[in-house]
Structure 1
Amino acid sequence: MQHHILVSPTRIPLQGKPFSSKNALISPQRFPNRKISQGLIEDFVVKSNYMTKTNNGSLTERVNSLQKSQKSISKDRVGSNIKQLRIPTDNFFQLTRGVNLLLTQKNKNPQNQKTQQLKPALGSMTRRNSMEELISSSNYTGIAKSSSQDKITTQEISINLHIGQDQVQNYRFASNISTDKLISMLKLKVNNNEIIAFQSLDDNIQLDYLLSLPNLSMESFVNKTIRLKPIINKIQNRINLNSFQFISVIGRGGFSTVVLARSLINGQFVALKLINKQFIQQHQKQDLIQNERDILIQTTYRGAIFTNRIEYAFETKNWIVFCIDYCPGGEMFNLIKKSQKLSEQQARFYIIEVILAIGFLHNEQIIYRDIKPENILIDSTGHIQLADFGLARPNMNKDSCAYSFCGSPEYMAPEMFQNSGHTQLVDYYCLGCLLYEFVTGLPPFYADDKNIIYKRLLKEQVEFPEYLSSDIKDLIRQLMIKDPSKRLGAKNGIDEILQHRWFKNIDIIQFINKSVKPPYIPDLQKLNLKSVNQNDQQFLEQIQREQKLNASFQSIFSCQFYFSKSGDKDKNIQLAKSTLENLVKKTQYNKQGLMNLQLQTNFENLLKQTFTNNKSKPDSKNKQQLYF
């Protein structure tokens, strides 16, 4: 038997002196615009002693003081000892007009001069209107704002629908319309049954993806015009590469490439995992690929609790293709790398969803064997999906043993090295390693040399930083016990793990129903799509050439491989009651088990509300949101 090891990527975690002028009157700190201050002084011919005074307050007070001083001014010209100031003649009509309006108002009411203060006329300059604003303003002083600015703009979303080269239809929708309702109304207006979706005229991927999702708000597009064109359904007997519109390369593995694409069958965005057939044949990996295909189909039809779902599986002349869910949040590895580490509250949310995914797989008699942040994806709602079942082993009950040496070195359980076989308990050890990396940023026995990692995980005990709580330290220690028979979960599976005190007051049904708000929700208008490099461009061009040829080929599998979920009308996607009971049968809620009458009633209602139709996702509407 060949051994294969998948090695994870290395984790690398003066101010200047202010200007002062000898002339306080014309200092740039006192008057930001020196020309304005000079213009004021010369407009009101003043005495020499006034020029030495500082700012006397508001403009109104300054005008009053100037009027009193004018009574004592001689009709003779000002003496030569006063320095003549040159007045700039441009742009000062606004300033002088404001002052003149003040003087005019005062002269009209000479009797009330002593008892009334000057009231600025409409448009006159006050302290609210700084000198700089008057000079820089394009509107004349005293002119009211345009009446058009006072009108309330209509809150609408404009759609320019380009049906053909010369045919454009314009529509307007209310601001509170959702994405799915907008698309449905556009389909009704066009009245063409072959139209499955719409895409932007300028290939705006973020906008196209947003419009493909249901029940999302369109308020960010209010008072904007969106140009769209229809996507026509391509009805085919069998799914092939021509059934998809390839967009961008979003991931690469050792012998596979993941591409973001849009289905031309239903208009949805999907992730296409393309595996090189030449590599499969050279390394005789047909059984592993067949297992991955069968596991994806099995888990999809059984409800897919926090696991990836499959839409299609097919092969071409050069590729094996899995069409699975697209998760715009990317890998958990990138989230940890960006934030360095998670808080215990954040880690609790994610590890509970991973534990439920592992419990779901064990209930389906599947050992996962490849838990690591790179295989945990974040979907559009912020919840996780466990992906990549290349190392998973089906048909394994609680006592069945497997003997393959596989996994990532940082996450391998000690029993992998003992050649005595490993069971489902190997996944519980990996859960401890994952939780450790969540809260510290690195795996527990991390080293650059994988041989050092192997020695440490066999002989050493895990060490913790001081900032972690005693409860999470105890949980990780019990999950990483080297003897599988003594490991947490050996007796009652994930139910035993979830009863640990670090998970106290946790309602597992709320988590299964996805009613708990995730710590991170991807911004769907800012998809993290990397720029296309030369290798990606060459790969996409190779796919396009194969699309055009659509050459015949001979299957490399002995069993049936082709799968289409949309074409399999006989099977309904539903979650069996026994599956949920096995996940939560003994977990305590507020010191009482699930089997008491009230919780049993809630459990039955949950099943009726969420799993009576063909939906694979539980319905989270009208459920109480829990926040951290």
Structure 2
Amino acid sequence: MEGCEKIEISEDNVNMGAENIRPECFELLRVLGKGGYGKVFQVRKVVGAAAGKIFAMKVLKKAMIVRNAKDTAHTKAERNILEEVKHPFIVDLIYAFQTGGKLYLILEYLSGGELFMQLEREGIFMEDTACFYLAEISMALGHLHQKGIIYRDLKPENIMLNSHGHVKLTDFGLCKESIHDGTVTHTFCGTIEYMAPEILMRSGHNRAVDWWSLGALMYDMLTGAPPFTGENRKKTIDKILKCKLSLPPYLTQEARDLLKRTVFGLMFAWMATLSNKLLNYAETGAHPFFRHINWEDLLARKVEPPFKPILQSADDVSQFDSKFTSQTPVDSPDDSTLSESANQVFLGFTYVAPSVLDNIKEKFSYEPKIRSPRRIMDSPRTLPSPGWARSPLLPGLGPSVLQSPQEQAMDMSSVEQMDITSSSEASAPLPIRQPAGINQMKQQAYPVVAKRPEHLRMNL
């Protein structure tokens, strides 16, 4: 054995296995949000791989989840989908683990906050801004659909921005797996204002409901509210199923056509069996509304986002609602005990990303960023903030696009009304590569719109 290297055997170099992740591995920094089943915290990892990195920690109470079989199924589906799906515009799952009474999901921290916050600040988006966000979202939805997953909860609150301003879909608790061509499901779920008629009618739905929600989201971005809202849930549902779709006159032809094909077109999915034919448009080419998008560059995140968060540090929480971030972060004691049979449903929940360090690819930039010049200063939802300036005059639009609210008030008599009794072919804007080098999308003046419905607004 002469000349051989001698190595002392210890627990440090034998059978090390995967990192043992537990709540004590993380330091609680801030509360980012609360829900019926638990909280979301901003945390810092204090030991092991990626020590010092900032993450978001979603904590769910088992006792609340196991009360309902559907909630249990949705929680397990969320965990499985987050492990399976890796995409530039979908949040990354880093770890999953559990204690006797709680489930923990450790996700990448998205310091840009919710798109909802940005929409509240801007009031409405210009079409090129909306186009960017909708294009990134459509790529995420298309990826989910290719894997047989429907999302079913698309809304501004579930779309977050990373530190560079790119979209990330979050909250997969209402997703449904194994929905391929010809397969439908019947669960009533989602947020009413963004729910497709076939969900409301309980007539069976598939991936088409996500394109409806994308259209409702697009309408919200461009007008200041979803297309159908009422004083209560029943009135909102009645409007979705029976009312006309109003298209404001300031929308471009491309925007109007895409809205007709999503919000309006898919309204008929529950009246006639939805077939692949109705989705042909998605598979043969992207909609002209996206004609300026280079899909290859977009997927590589080479396209400059319209808004970049101004952040002071990697743990900056300025883009989150202060009613949460001002609270003391406390993960309540895990004193609940479930029976052994109840705990069996969470077997296999633990997960560690194949390479944690590979998941932390994007270095945080401390360079001050200039915010979007498309802010409408007279919007009732616009807050004065350092670094923001009035939008420069846009060519061909007269002396200013920043008229007074009275001058900008919409003439509803000229709004296009579309009756749902008309027929329309449905389509969905799945992304394909488009030729580069096309001129920038033309700008148009937007009116100041009425406030979003109270229950859809954030108290900024």
For the criterion TM > 0.5, the same-fold answer is yes
Task: Work out which of the residue numbers 298, 312, 318 in structure 1 matches 2:95.
Answer: 312
Residue 349 of structure 2: aligned partner: 561
Does residue 278 of structure 2 align to residue 490 of structure 1?
yes
Residue 589 of structure 1: aligned partner: 435
> What are the ranges of 5 or more consecutive residues in structure 2 without an aligned counterpart?
1-16, 361-428, 444-460
Does residue 317 of structure 2 align to residue 527 of structure 1?
yes
Task: Report the Cα distance in structure 2 between the residues aligned to 1:419 and 1:551, rounded to whole angstroms.
Answer: 36
Residue 297 of structure 1: aligned partner: 83
Structure 2 CA distance for partners of 1:269 and 1:287, relative to 1, 3 Å: same
> What are the ranges of 5 or more consecutive residues in structure 1 without an aligned counterpart?
1-234, 574-581, 592-625
Residue 274 of structure 1: aligned partner: 59
Shift of 1:468: 1.5
Shift of 1:407: 0.7
> What are the superposed Cα offsets for residues 429-451 of structure 1, whole Å, 9 maximum, x if unpaired?
11110100011111000123111
Structure 2 CA distance for partners of 1:358 and 1:504, relative to 1, 3 Å: same
2:57 corresponds to which letter in structure 1? Answer: L
Residue 358 of structure 1: aligned partner: 141
Task: Work out which of the residue numbers 55, 60, 68 in structure 2 matches 1:283.
Answer: 68
Shift of 1:583: 6.4
Shift of 1:318: 2.7
Task: Report the Cα distance in structure 2 between the residues aligned to 1:338 and 1:488, rounded to whole angstroms.
Answer: 39
Residue 22 of structure 2: aligned partner: 240
The alignment's TM-score, normalised by the length of structure 1, stands at 0.50
Task: Report the Cα distance in structure 1 between the residues aligned to 2:96 and 2:331, rounded to whole angstroms.
Answer: 20
Structure 2 CA distance for partners of 1:495 and 1:533, relative to 1, 3 Å: closer
Secondary structure in structure 2 of the residue aligned to 1:366: coil
Structure 2 CA distance for partners of 1:262 and 1:590, relative to 1, 3 Å: closer
Shift of 1:564: 1.1
Equivalences for residues 84-99 of structure 1 within 5 A = none
The alignment's TM-score, normalised by the length of structure 2, stands at 0.67
> What are the superposed Cα offsets for residues 63-104 of structure 1, whole Å, 9 maximum, x if unpaired?
xxxxxxxxxxxxxxxxxxxxxxxxxxxxxxxxxxxxxxxxxx
Task: Work out which of the residue numbers 115, 124, 127 in structure 2 matches 1:344.
Answer: 127
Task: Work out which of the residue numbers 21, 31, 40 in structure 2 matches 1:249.
Answer: 31
Does residue 186 of structure 2 align to residue 406 of structure 1?
no
8 Å Cα contact 1:479/1:488 also seen in 2: no
Secondary structure in structure 2 of the residue aligned to 1:589: coil
8 Å Cα contact 2:63/2:338 also seen in 1: no
8 Å Cα contact 1:313/1:323 also seen in 2: yes
Structure 2 CA distance for partners of 1:489 and 1:260, relative to 1, 3 Å: farther
Structure 2 CA distance for partners of 1:440 and 1:317, relative to 1, 3 Å: same
Structure 2 CA distance for partners of 1:532 and 1:236, relative to 1, 3 Å: farther
Structure 2 CA distance for partners of 1:237 and 1:379, relative to 1, 3 Å: closer
Structure 2 CA distance for partners of 1:420 and 1:465, relative to 1, 3 Å: same
Task: Report the Cα distance in structure 2 between the residues aligned to 1:273 and 1:452, rounded to whole angstroms.
Answer: 34
Task: Report the Cα distance in structure 2 between the residues aligned to 1:589 and 1:344, rounded to whole angstroms.
Answer: 20
Task: Report the Cα distance in structure 2 between the residues aligned to 1:237 and 1:552, rounded to whole angstroms.
Answer: 25
Residue 8 of structure 2: aligned partner: none
8 Å Cα contact 2:317/2:325 also seen in 1: no
Equivalences for residues 51-450 of structure 1 within 5 A = 237-264=19-46, 265=48, 266=50, 267-284=52-69, 285-300=71-86, 304-450=87-233
Q: CA RMSD in A?
A: 3.5
8 Å Cα contact 1:479/1:487 also seen in 2: no
> What are the superposed Cα offsets for residues 159-218 of structure 1, whole Å, 9 maximum, x if unpaired?
xxxxxxxxxxxxxxxxxxxxxxxxxxxxxxxxxxxxxxxxxxxxxxxxxxxxxxxxxxxx
Structure 2 CA distance for partners of 1:469 and 1:395, relative to 1, 3 Å: same
1:524 corresponds to which letter in structure 2? Answer: L
Secondary structure in structure 2 of the residue aligned to 1:463: strand
Task: Work out which of the residue numbers 246, 259, 264 in structure 2 matches 1:463.
Answer: 246
Structure 2 CA distance for partners of 1:530 and 1:314, relative to 1, 3 Å: same
Shift of 1:542: 4.4
Structure 2 CA distance for partners of 1:413 and 1:588, relative to 1, 3 Å: same
Structure 2 CA distance for partners of 1:541 and 1:251, relative to 1, 3 Å: closer
Larger radius of gyration: 1
Task: Report the Cα distance in structure 1 between the residues aligned to 2:53 and 2:277, rounded to whole angstroms.
Answer: 39
Task: Report the Cα distance in structure 1 between the residues aligned to 2:324 and 2:101, rounded to whole angstroms.
Answer: 22
Shift of 1:297: 0.1
Shift of 1:385: 0.3
Aligned residues: 343
Secondary structure in structure 2 of the residue aligned to 1:490: helix
8 Å Cα contact 1:317/1:553 also seen in 2: no
Structure 2 CA distance for partners of 1:429 and 1:532, relative to 1, 3 Å: closer
Shift of 1:488: 11
Structure 2 CA distance for partners of 1:415 and 1:360, relative to 1, 3 Å: same
8 Å Cα contact 1:305/1:356 also seen in 2: no
8 Å Cα contact 1:258/1:273 also seen in 2: yes
Structure 2 CA distance for partners of 1:566 and 1:552, relative to 1, 3 Å: farther
Task: Work out which of the residue numbers 273, 281, 300 in structure 2 matches 1:513.
Answer: 300
Pick the structure with more helix per residue: 1
2:66 corresponds to which letter in structure 1? Answer: Q
Secondary structure in structure 1 of the residue aligned to 2:247: coil
Task: Report the Cα distance in structure 1 between the residues aligned to 2:185 and 2:336, rounded to whole angstroms.
Answer: 40
8 Å Cα contact 1:248/1:532 also seen in 2: no
> What are the superposed Cα offsets for residues 481-511 of structure 1, whole Å, 9 maximum, x if unpaired?
2112679983347445x62222223211111
Shift of 1:316: 1.5
Secondary structure in structure 1 of the residue aligned to 2:187: coil
Task: Work out which of the residue numbers 500, 503, 506 in structure 1 matches 2:287.
Answer: 500
1:371 corresponds to which letter in structure 2? Answer: L
8 Å Cα contact 1:359/1:494 also seen in 2: no
Structure 2 CA distance for partners of 1:490 and 1:281, relative to 1, 3 Å: same
8 Å Cα contact 1:428/1:488 also seen in 2: no
Task: Report the Cα distance in structure 2 between the residues aligned to 1:467 and 1:308, rounded to whole angstroms.
Answer: 34
Identity %: 29
Task: Report the Cα distance in structure 2 between the residues aligned to 1:535 and 1:524, rounded to whole angstroms.
Answer: 17
Shift of 1:466: 2.1
Task: Report the Cα distance in structure 2 between the residues aligned to 1:536 and 1:353, rounded to whole angstroms.
Answer: 33
Shift of 1:331: 0.7
Secondary structure in structure 2 of the residue aligned to 1:336: helix
Residue 57 of structure 1: aligned partner: none
Shift of 1:558: 5.3
Task: Report the Cα distance in structure 2 between the residues aligned to 1:331 and 1:250, rounded to whole angstroms.
Answer: 11
Structure 2 CA distance for partners of 1:316 and 1:476, relative to 1, 3 Å: same
Shift of 1:399: 2.1
Structure 2 CA distance for partners of 1:534 and 1:440, relative to 1, 3 Å: closer
